[in-house]
Amino acid sequence: MSDRQKFIRNFCIVAHIDHGKSTLADRLLEATGTVAKRDLQEQLLDSMDLERERGITIKLTPTRMKYNYQGNDYILNLIDTPGHVDFTYEVSRSLAACEGAILIVDAGQGVEAQTLANVHLALDNNLEILPVINKIDLPSAEPEKVKKEIEDVIGIPAMHAPCISAKEGTNIEAVLEGIIKEFPAPRGKENAPLKCLVFDSYYDNFKGAICLVRVFDGSVKKGDKIKFMQTNNVFEVTEVGYFTPKAKESDVLLTGEVGYIAASIKKVSEARVGDTITNADNPATEALPGYKQVQPVVFSGIFPVDGSKYGELKDALEKLKLNDSALDYQPETSVALGFGFRCGFLGLLHMEIIQERLEREFNLDIITTAPGVSYHVFKTNGEMIEVSNPSNLPEQSFIDHIEEPYVNAHIFTPPEYMGSIMELCTERRGENTDVVYLDEKRVRLDYTIPLSEIIYDFFDSLKSRTRGYASLDYEMADYRPSKLVKLDILLKGEICDALSLIAHQDKAYERGKIMTEKLKEVIPRQMFEVPIQAAIGGKIIARETVKAFRKDVLAKCYGGDVTRKRKLLEKQKEGKKKMRNIGSVEVPSDAFISILKID
Amino acid sequence: MSLNKFALYVHIPFCVSKCSYCDFCSFVPKNEQVSAYLQALNAEIKAKGEFYKNYQVTSIYIGGGTPSILPKNVIFEILKNIKTNFKISGNSITIEANPNSFTLEKAQEFKEAGCNRISFGLQSHNDEILKILNRKHNFQDLVNAVNYAHKVGINDINVDFMFGVPTQDLEDVKESLNRVTNLDITHISCYGLILEPNTPLYNEVKNKELQLPSDDECVNMYDYAVDFLSKHGFFRYEISNFAKKGYESVHNKNYWARGEYLGLGLASHSFIKGVHWHNTSNFNKYLSTPLNCMENIEPETLKTAKEETIMLALRTEKGLNIQEYNKKFQSDFLKEYKNTISKLSTQNLITIKNDYIKINDFNISNAIIAEFF
C-alpha cells in the first residue's frame, strides 16, 4: 500500500430513517471545512427537492473531505446511502465501495428494523462498523442502554461509541477520530489493471451518464479507453473528478479513491450500478463481485388524464429513465384509459416518487392503476409466463396454477403490539417464521408474506396499529403457489380493464364487494341506470346500481335565456370531458384513484 | 326589395310587488320613474324603428314585470308608437298581465291598443303556495280576468302554471291543472321552478326554511301534467308550453327557430344578424341613453350557432329538422354527431324519424342536449 493510500478513508453512514444520518453528514462537511457553515443548506447531500421533503435520501452523493489529524492530511470520502428498503441493492453497492460504516442509532429509539437490515448489509460487505449514539440532547436519551442494545442485538462492541448530538454539533470530533482510527485504509494495487466499482450513476444533460466510482486497483484519467465488464461497452473517458460536494474535475482517479467518470455515455442503463469498469487496452481478468441486474417488483399502469398528453408522458418517462435505470416501462393500451404505460418499480416508495416527479417536474395529470406484482402463471401446456398486468392473465381454463412472490418481512415492535401485528399479518396471509425477544421492550417478528399483500397499505396499517412504534423491513424470498383469481369490474355490462386485479381467492369476494360499493359512491348518476358488478371468471359476485338521474332540465328558454342557457350547457359538457368513458358510462378520473385507497 | 323579419319584445320592468323566485329585471316603481321610463322607451322605439326600417315585425310581446299595472292609456300609446315607427306584418300581439291588476277597463284598453293575446301569471290555485311565491292574487282573480278578456273579444289566453314549488305535492298540481283546464283558455305554460341565486326563495331554501320537492316528485308532477293536459286538448309543443290546436305562440316559436328579434326597453335581449346583446339593466343608464346602452354584444360563431340551433330545436316537441340543419350549416348532421347519436339511440334517449331528431324524455333534456356540445 502506498503512503498516499494510507491517508484515505472510504465510509458510509447507515441509519434508520430520522435517526439523523443527513444531519451528521452536514456536521462532518462543516467540521472538515468542506462546506462553510453559511453555505450549508439543511441536509446538503440530499440533492433532489423531493428527497428533502420526504426526509429520505434516494440518490447518493459521494463527498470528498480533507481532515488533518495529528499532523497528517487525510482524505475522507463519505458515500451517502439511501435509507429505504426499495433501494437495498443500491445500498449494498455503496457499501461495497467503502471500508467502514458509521452506524447511527437514536439514543431515544434504539435499534430499529432498518438499522439492523443495513448493518447486516454492511457486515456482509466486510465493513468495519463504528457505532455512534446520536440525539443525546434529547430528554429521552438513554445512551448507555442503547449501547448495550447494540452489543446484544447486533453483536458488535459499542462501549466506546461516540455519544453525539448531530443537531447541536456536540462531539463531532470524536466521530472523525473514530473514522480515522477504526476504519482501515483502502487496499488495492496501483500498478494492477484498472478495477472500478460503479456504485451509482446519474444523467447529466451535457456530459451524458456520469458513473460514480470507487477505484479498487489501478487508476483512470481523461482519454483512457474504459470497458464495462458486464455489458462489454467501451468508451473514452472525457472527464474524471470528485465531489466537494460540487463536482470538481481532477487529473486522475487513483487506487482507493472515490469520484466520477464521464465518458459520453448516452444512457444510465449503459452505466449499470454494480458493474466493474476496467481499462479496455489492459483489462482486469475478473470483475468485482456482487453485480446484480435490478428487477422491478411492483407494477402499475400510468395513463395521462388527458389522452392527448400521451406523447408528453412518454417523453417524461424517457427522461426519468435516463437517470433511473431501475424504472421500467412499456406501452400499454387500456380500453378504459386509452394509451399509457405499464411501469415497473423497485417498490411502492419508488412508485410514488416517480408519480410525484411526473406530476411536479413534468406538470402531468396522471391516473395510476392499482399496484400489483409479477405472477408466474403456469399454463396447462407446461409453459410459464410472467404476468404483471391483470389484463394479460390467460383464461382460467388455460391455467394450471399460479405462483406469487413472497417476501421475508422483519417487524420490530414493543411487545404490547405483538397481538395486533400478528393479527394484521395473518389477515395478509403471512406465515410467522420466528419471534425473537431482543430485550424486555423489543421483539422481532419474522414473517413470510406475499408481496402483493404488503404493497397496498400494509405499512400504514402497521404504523396505525402500533402508534408508529413498529418498523418494517423485507427482502424478496421466493415464488410460491397460490390460489389466485382475476377480479373484474363491469360497468353496465362492460369490463373496465383498468379496474381489474388479481386477488387471492379467499379475499376476492370481499374485495369485489368493497370495490363496487366504493365505485357507487364516486360514479355520478347518469342518463341511464349503471349497474356496477364484480365478477370472477364470468361469475358475478357483487352488484351495486347507480340509478339514472331523472331530472336535468331548465324550464324556460325565451329570448333572454338563449345565450345563458347555451353557456350553462357548454359548462356541463366541459365537466364531462374530464370523465373517462367506459362503454357508455362516464367515470371520473377520481374513481380509479379512489379504489387504490381501499382495503 | 324583400324585407327582413323579426319579432319585437318590449320590456316593462315594473311590478306591484316582487315575486320571491324572480330574478328578472323588475321592481316596484315610484311615480316619476314610470313616466321617465316611458319617455326613454318611446325615444328608443322611434330611433330603432328608423334604424330597422328594412325589417317587418312578425309579432310583438309586451312582457315584464307586470305591463298591466301601468297607468291608463300607456300601453295604448306604446303600441301606437310602435305601429307608427315599425312596419307590422303579423297579427300577434301578446301582453302579460297579473290576474288581480286586469280589470274590464284594462281589457278594453288592451283590445283597442291591438293586443290579441293575453298571458296571465297564475302559478298556482293554492293560496299557501302563492304566499310562498309572494304573489298577491288568488284563483278567483284569474277567473274574473279570463271573463273580462272574453268580454272584450280577446280569446287567445295563456295561463302560467308552476310546479316544483316548496310544499307543493302532486295533489296540488292535479287540482291546479284541473281548475285551469276548466277555464276557456287556449294555452298553458307549465314551468318547473328554478331557484335563481340571490332571490328570497333561493335563500330560504338554502337556509333550510323551505324544502323543494324531490327530483322524483318533480318528474312525477311534470309527467302528470303532460298526460293530463293532452287529455284536455292542450298539446305540448315545447318543454314547458302546451296549446290547443292552432294556438301555439307565434312569438315564442320564433325564439326556438332561432329567428331574429329586437328587444326594446330596459334589459331587453336582441338577436339580429347573428349577434346577441341586451340593453343595460341599469335603470338610470337606460333613462339617460336609451339608444346607446347595448351590453354583452356576442357575435355568433359556427360552434355557438350550431349549439343554439340544436339546443332550441331539441326542446320542441317536433325536434330538430335534420334537412334544415344540413342546409343551414352545409353539413351532415347524422355524420357530424355519429357517436353521440349512436350512444343516445342505444340508450333509447332520442328518436330519429322522418327527418327529425327528438328527445324522448324532456326531464333530462339538459344532459341529452349537452351531449351535442
Interface of B with A in 311-330 (CB under 8 A): 311-312, 315
Q: Where are the alpha helices (DSSP H) in chain B?
A: 31-51, 74-85, 104-113, 127-132, 139-152, 170-181, 200-206, 215-231, 250-256, 283-288, 302-314, 322-329, 333-336, 338-346, 365-370
pLDDT tens digits, one per residue of B305-364: 999 999 999 999 999 999 999 999 999 999 999 999 998 999 899 999 999 999 999 999
Question: Which segment, A258-272, A382-396, A452-466, B260-274, is predicted with the most confidence on average?
Answer: B260-274
CA–CA min distance A552, chain B (Å): 4
* CB within 8 Å: B9 and A559: yes
User: From the CA atom positions of chain A, what is the Rg in Å?
Assistant: 28
| Residue B172, all three cell numbers | 296540488
Cβ of A553 within 8 Å of Cβ of B365? The answer is yes
Task: Say whether A527 and B349 touch across the interface (CB within 8 A).
Answer: yes
Asked if A488 and A534 touch (Cβ cutoff 8 Å), the reply is yes
Phi, psi values for residue A352, rounded to 5°: -65, -40
**Residues in Cβ contact with A401 at an 8 Å cutoff, skipping those fewer than 6 apart:** A378, A481
Which pLDDT belongs to residue A58? Answer: 47
Q: Which residues of A touch B347 (CB under 8 A)?
A: 527-528, 584
Which of B7, B35, B12 is CA-nearest to residue B24?
B12
d(CA B371, CA B317): 19
Confidence at A335, pLDDT banded by 50, 70, 90? confident
What does the H/E/C string look like for A529-587?
CEEEEEEECCEEEEEEEECCCCCCCCCCCCHHHHHHHHHHHHHHHHHHHCEEEECCEEE
Q: What is the pTM of this model?
A: 0.67
Inter-chain touch B367–A528, beta carbons under 8 Å: no
User: Cβ contact (<8 Å) for B370 and A569?
Assistant: yes
A441 exposed, middle or buried (CB, 10 Å; 0-12, 13-18, 19+)? Answer: middle
Amino acid present at B154? I
What is the average per-residue pLDDT within A201-222? Answer: 91
Answer whether A226's CB lies under 8 Å from A234's CB.
yes
A38 touches chain B (CB under 8 A): no
Are β-strands B4-12 and B55-64 bridged in parallel, bridged antiparallel, or unpaired? parallel
Find the helix or strand (DSSP H, E) in which A515 lies.
helix A505-522
Cβ–Cβ contact A567 with B under 8 A = no
pLDDT by residue (tens digit) across A245-258?
888 999 999 999 99
| pLDDT score of A110 more than 90 | no
Among A190-199, A453-462, B103-112, where is mean pLDDT lowest?
A: A453-462
The pLDDT tens digits of the residues spanning A418-447 come to 999 999 999 999 999 999 987 777 788 999
pLDDT at residue A352, as a whole number? 83
Strand-pair partners of A557 = none
Looking at the complex, report in whole angstroms how far the Cα of residue B371 sits from the nearest Cα belonging to chain A. 7
Q: What's the first-to-final CA gap in chain B, in angstroms?
A: 38
Which residues between 205 and 234 in chain B have a beta carbon less than 8 angstroms from any beta carbon of chain A?
215-216, 218-219
CB hemisphere CA count around A187 (13 angstroms): 1
pLDDT at A19: 76
The angle, 0 to 180 degrees and rounded to 10, between the axes of the packed helices B215-231 and B170-181 is 20
Question: How is chain B split among helix, strand and coil, in percent rounded to 5?
Answer: 45, 25, 35
Q: What percentage of chain B carries pLDDT values higher than 70?
A: 99
Residue of chain B minimizing CA distance to A526: B367
Cα–Cα distance measured from residue A132 to residue A233, given in angstroms and rounded to the nearest whole number:
42
- Residues whose CB falls within 8 Å of the CB of residue A308, separated by 6 or more in sequence, listed in order: none
Q: Which of the four pLDDT bands, split at 50, 70 and 90, describes residue A3?
A: confident
Place A95 in a pLDDT band, splitting at 50, 70 and 90.
Answer: confident
Please check whether residue A232 touches B, CB under 8 A: no
**Residue A59 pLDDT > 60:** no
Closest chain B C-alpha to A247 CA, distance in angstroms: 57
Interface touch B308/A527, C-beta < 8 Å? no
Report how far apart, in Å, the C-alpha atoms of A407 and of each of A470, A475, B62 are.
Answer: 18, 5, 81
- CB proximity list for B8: less than 8 A, separation 6 or greater: B57, B59, B60, B61, B82, B86, B261, B262, B263, B264
